[in-house]
Structure 1
Amino acid sequence: MFAFMKGLLISGLAVFFLWSCNGKENLPPASGLSGDMYLVMDSVQWQGKLGEVVDSLFRIEMEGLPRKESIFHMRWIDPRKLNFVLKQRRNLIFAVTLDRNSAGANMLKGLFTPESLEKIKSDPDSYVLTMSDVYAKGQEAMYLYGNTEKELIANLRSKGHYLIEHFNRKEKERLGVSLYKSGQITGVSDWLKQNMDCDIKIPFGYKLVINNKEFLWMRQINPSVDKDIFIAAVPYQSQDQFKKENLIALRDQFCEKYLFEDPEVANSYLKTETTVPFIPVTTKEVNMNGKYAIEMRGLWRANNFSMGGPFVGFAMVDEAKGKFYYVEGFTFSPSKDQREIMRELETILGTFRTSEAITK
């Protein structure tokens, strides 16, 4: 699926734009917050069906959060007001169709060469191109185009999830750079390789709470946010271990054994929240660093209802070692938005490796 998505997003590389990519070393750094999106689109199309489709696509809710938060924060920019400052935003989306002749649409069409416009007219399946560092270093720009508005809307509705995955991956790549700028806790990495046959990159700032041959828990606490990462390992028995009900049972088994709101209060152990009908625990198949995995998202709470929050976890097998791993990130941050916290935890989890992938 990833290979298809990558091909989809770069298939338009034959389309050329009227600016030059030379001089990137002199570009200013991209600005803006993680998750911010700036959509450059003609005002008439923004207020119409195309704007509605693009806006709803990138405002889809992030799964498994206790409060509604969209996966991205979308802002609209009139092409006529795209100034030097706005051009430096970290995530830019340009959207235009050739059947529009307004001033704003014509400005956007002016970004394309005559050859590229002919390609758009002749290829209804071509609708997206991504480029990096167009106006600023660290910037990601996406161009959505079509011969007609109806044509572009059809492509967005059938393939739009790939566009979300693209920007989500770019945000996590940026997070990875900033998280590990000061390095990682190498002692944890060495211990994991020797005792649990796996590895994960834990950035500075986390503290080791528990480590034994079946469970490791790392924690970062500040006055407003508690971020947690844990790794659990059990013998691999069958594919049934990937079923949602079995993953929840495994999670609850380790939470009840090791994770407490207050270790002095036996009833304060953590558990998976399965009684909120509008925020169910969800699972899906994913490719995690080339390995088959199941992603699980949902809410957790203390058994005595004293605290709770969201979690995201991944389950996978190391067949060579006969081990079944479940790695998770969860947070307690009741006074803060949690979208970017969860994206950060997911970035850390994305560094997890089983023995087959560990560099010897």
Structure 2
Amino acid sequence: MRALKYILVAFSFGILFSSCEEGSGDYDSSKPKARGTIGEIILVIDSTKWAGPVGDELKDIFEADLPGMIRSEPRFKVNRVDPRAMTRMLKMSTNLIYVTTFDDKGGASQVINSQFSKASKDKAEADPSLFQLRMEDEYARGQEVLYLFGNTEDELVANLRKNKQRLINLFEVRERGRLEKIILARKNTAALHEAETNLGIKINVPASYQVVKSKPGFLWVRQPTPTANRADISLFFYETDYVAEEQTFPENIVKLKDEITKNEIFGDPEDPTSFMVSEKQIPPAFRNMVINDNFTTEIRGSWKTNNISMGGTYLGYLMVDEKKGKLYYMEGFVFYPNEVHRDALREIETILLNTDVSWTQEQGS
């Protein structure tokens, strides 16, 4: 699915940055390539502001726990940096956020404030709804620089709180797009063929995954070489008839998921008691959305095997294709004991959101 760019406030702000003279936002082969791991954000902010109400809102946006997890894991990896400690290397970071308020006379905030012209500050003072500006490729190619500002802390806090989900979406969509270029550069054609044949859908699975089980209405693929630095990731896809809206209710999604895994997913294929089940002590989190005109429910939660020999986290999507009269459930689950699951879940999200359930055999012929 093509990455979408969320522009929260469209305006010509007239901010004067020294780097703008170098062609900020335009492709410049002389600039170095941005660097940074997927999901990493460099947050440039005064330490006092970080410890106060502004910092609390920023933590709630970027460091909030992912829902449905076995243990606490923040949505992004945030590294806070004092504005006076910014180095050339840090300025090359892929995701860079500067945060300030114009009433802050502290030395650290003044370093950021000095980049704003008087005309810019006057505009912000006249319109308190102006609180952010995006700059692409400001210091490096492939970079996202976001300035978050306000006349006062109260004003900035209010705008951050109001635009929380949009700010999350901005970086989630961006990071998914970056990851897509990496993991989907080479696709598994065998898995693609099985999905088209047995489910009538089009999937994009990395070449490193292998088909575990395939039959009419069901496909299971797995990344088969987990290591200390690589999670054990499985994906499965299931198709059934769409007959009633009740099938999309949260309790029925969990019921369907458990019916699928009880019959198809086993920790040990030789042990029929090792089938996969939803972890009930950690309630799953649901979110409704529309993907390619199809009503979709996202579900995040934790799983275990019935014999409690294994466990982990999962991310799933229930998609309705009313034109085809079909209901599709697709899920990725992670087995990675005592390690962070966030990156594996982002990989699962990237793969599953590239699935086209509206594809038909006629399109492929």
Tell me if both proteins adopt one fold, taking TM over 0.5 as the criterion. Answer: yes
1:5 Cα deviation (Å)?
Answer: 8.9
Cα distance, 1:356 vs. partner?
A: 5.0
Aligned residue among 251, 257, 261 for 1:255: 261
Percent of pairs with identical residues = 34
The residue aligned with 1:102 is 106
Aligned residue among 181, 193, 196 for 1:193? 196
CA distance in 2: counterparts of 1:252 and 1:23, whole angstroms: 49
Structure 2 residue aligned with 1:230, among 229, 232, 236?
236
* Root-mean-square deviation (Å): 2.0
- Superposed, which structure 2 residues align to 1:64-213 within 5 Å? 64-181=68-185, 183-213=186-216
Could you list the per-position Cα deviations for residues 301-339 of structure 1 after superposition, in whole angstroms to 9, with x for gaps in the alignment? 111111011001001112222110001110111132111
Deviations 1:180-224 (A, max 9, x none): 23x101232233234322111001110001112210000012243
Specify every segment of 5 or more residues in structure 2 that has no aligned partner in the other structure, as ranges.
none
Name the counterpart of 2:325.
322
The answer as to 2:15 corresponding to 1:16 is yes
Q: Which has the higher helix share?
A: 1
Structure 1 match to 2:43: 39
Unmatched tracts of structure 1, length 5 or more: none
Other-structure match for 1:6: 6
| 1:161 shift after superposition | 2.2
Contact 2:27 2:137 in 1 (8 A): no
Change (3 A) 1:248 1:202: same
CA shift for structure 1 position 260: 0.5
Equivalents in 1 of 2:244, 2:16: separation in Å?
52
CA change 1:357–1:175 in 2 (3 A) is farther
Partner of 2:29: helix, strand, or coil?
helix
Q: Structure 2 length as normaliser, TM-score?
A: 0.91
Distance 1:188 1:299, change over 3 A: same
SS at match of 1:143: strand
The answer for the alignment partner of 1:346 in structure 2 is 349
Contact 1:318/1:356, CA 8 A, preserved across alignment: no
SS at 1:6 equivalent: coil
Residue 274 (structure 2) aligned to one of 265, 268, 271: 268
Question: Which range moved further: 80-89 or 350-359?
Answer: 350-359
Is the 8 Å Cα contact of residues 289 and 350 (structure 1) preserved in structure 2? Answer: no
Q: Matches of 2:89 and 2:306 in 1, distance apart?
A: 49
- SS of 2:212's equivalent in the other structure is strand
Q: Quick one: which amino acid aligns to residue 193 of structure 2?
A: D
| Structure 1 residues 188 and 140: CA distance shift in structure 2, 3 A | same
Partner of 2:68: helix, strand, or coil?
coil
* Structure 2 CA distance for partners of 1:342 and 1:260, relative to 1, 3 Å: same
Whether the aligned pair in 2 keeps the contact of 1:11 and 1:126 (CA below 8 Å) is no
Q: Which amino acid aligns with 1:177?
A: K
Separation in 2 of the partners of 1:81 and 1:222? Answer: 41
Distance 2:187 2:244 in 1: 34
Which letter maps to 1:129?
L
Equivalent residue, structure 1, for 2:56: 52
* Helix, strand or coil at the partner of 2:61: helix
- 1:25 counterpart residue number: 29
Residue 331 of structure 1 aligns to a residue whose secondary structure is: strand
* Superposition TM-score, scaled by structure 1 size: 0.92
Match of 1:303 among 282, 302, 306: 306
**Contact 1:268 1:306 (8 Å CA) reproduced:** yes
* Partner SS state of residue 69, structure 2: coil
